[in-house]
Amino acid sequence: MPIVKFLFGVLGIAGVIYVSLCGWLWFAQRRLMYLPCPALGVTPDAFGVVYEDVWIPTDGAGQLHGWWLPANSGNDLTILYLHGNAGNVSSNLGKALQLRSLGASVLTIDYRGYGQSSGPFPTEQRLYEDALAAWRFLQVEQGVMPQHLVIYGHSLGGAIGIELASQVPHLAGLVVEASFTSMADMATLSQYNRWFPVRQLLTQRFESITKVNRLKAPTLYLHGLADASVPAVMSEMLYQATGGPKSLWLVPNADHNDLPDWAGEEFEQRLRQFLQNYVLAKH
């Protein structure tokens, strides 16, 4: 019957289009997740802060660019700052300087594909390798012992920080700001989930929720209650699943990138309290 053949033809074409779109989403997902900016804007010079450009080799191809911000004087702590999925070290400099104001030296890095770091384009595994390379640099070049290292990760950097913290024994502490339980959980919140099997298509998974029960280091979770990008309940879930010493601070009115602004002076106070109670008390 002509009408049946026509309908089957339409369904066949629709099926080909749908499968093609699934294939595009599978191939394009890294470009949708990782949003690097190559151009550096402001540098620490603009704030009168002494710093050093550092170049860190990785186990794979390429090298990382970062800024080493030594403390003038302080508590012998070093903070490795891991930024989120967008921008580069210059667009995240404000947070790095806030962390330095705690009396710690700070290393902030760009992952491969970001800022002045070389390629190739990021993958989940490469991001983990980049964080590990930064830690090795701190060990070898700066003489940082794990018990003097605090990892601070924002958003995607939080997931990277959780992975690194699970690999570094005797770590002093971990701070995770506005991060997520897993990329699959994030994908189900996206517009693509209405039409596509996003969980099955994901290759970049960042399964933080399955890793935090292995954490030994004291961990502080921060999240804005008005976060429109990553729901604050995800930090609550990470907190509940964390095995080691832990704290949770939910900041009213704060969105994904402005938590320190809404927290004001309490941001520094809370971090100092965390360091004093969980990190410095052990020194």
Catalytically active residues, by annotation = 155, 227, 256
Number of alpha carbons in the 13 Å side-chain half-sphere of residue 265: 0
Dist. CA 221–CA 74, nearest whole Å? 24
CA distances from 156 to 35, 159, 180, 262 (A): 11, 5, 8, 21
The single-letter DSSP state of residue 193 is G
Beta bridge partners of 176: 153, 221
Dist. CA 132–CA 7, nearest whole Å? 55
Cβ 12 vs Cβ 32: under 8 Å? no
Extract the tokens encoding 139. Answer: 């060990």
CA distances from 263 to 62, 80, 86, 249 (A): 38, 22, 22, 10
Cβ 144 vs Cβ 173: under 8 Å? no
Cβ 21 vs Cβ 196: under 8 Å? yes
The single-letter DSSP state of residue 146 is G
Dist. CA 252–CA 71, nearest whole Å? 31
Measured over all CA atoms, what is the biggest interatomic distance in the chain, rounded to whole angstroms? 85
Find the helix packing angle between 93-100 and 265-274, rounded to 10°: 60
